[in-house]
Amino acid sequence: MQQQSRSRTLRATFAALGAAAAVVALSTGPAAASDAPFQAPKATQATARSVTSAAAGCAGAGPTVTNHLGITYSTTYCHNYQAGYVVRADQPSVTNYSGYLNAGDNWFVCQRQITAWENPPVGSARNNWWLYTQGDDGYADAGWGWFPATKVSGGGNYQPIPGLRTC
């Protein structure tokens, strides 16, 4: 799990660096390939729109992942501005944690509305949409479970997060 956590942190860091490089490239021109340790995306207006829209929801393909049950999923990157617990999928309760997800750009599989299961409130944010992911630290089910939409950028009260498919 510790290796997965480091890999996930590195992926999120490179995703954030790629977005930052696109914004810098728009204002300074393209950088030489030798200037960066990885191939940055080509800076275009479409890239700038992607970076802007990511602040309002989810954008960008994440890795293909396999959960603790052996099911493989494609993922999408979203920004969770606040860290929090991942809740076990098989025993829904906001106190039955399977893991902990650090704040940052993280991948999520999908989202679903569970009307009987409220997210923990964050300021004035209220929601009952939950995002399926794997925590950086796992306590049960290898850290897989549901993360509250109230801690993810984009969306409104009792609305899904834009850019992430429903389960």
Say what the pLDDT of residue 89 is: 76
Place of tokens 């049950």: 69
Where helices occur in the chain by DSSP H, the ranges are 2-28, 45-54
Among candidate residues 37, 17, 127, 141, the one with its CA nearest the CA of residue 86: 141
HSE of 47, CA atoms in CB hemisphere, 13 A: 17
Say what the pLDDT of residue 86 is: 95
Check: CB of residue 54 under 8 Å from CB of residue 46.
no
CB atoms within 10 A of CB 152: 28
**Cα–Cα distance, 110 to 130 (Å, whole number):** 8
Kindly report, residue by residue over 83-137, the tens digit of the pLDDT. Answer: 999 998 766 565 789 999 999 999 999 999 998 889 999 999 999 999 999 999 9
What are the tokens at 21?
Answer: 């490089």
| Local confidence band at 50 (pLDDT 50, 70, 90 cut-offs) | very low
pLDDT score of 7 more than 50: no
Check residues 56 and 133 and name the one with the higher pLDDT.
Answer: 133
Q: Which amino acid type is present at position 42? A: K
Kindly report, residue by residue over 11-46, the tens digit of the pLDDT. Answer: 444 344 333 333 222 223 333 333 333 222 322 223
Average pLDDT for 64-79? 96
Place of tokens 């993810």: 152
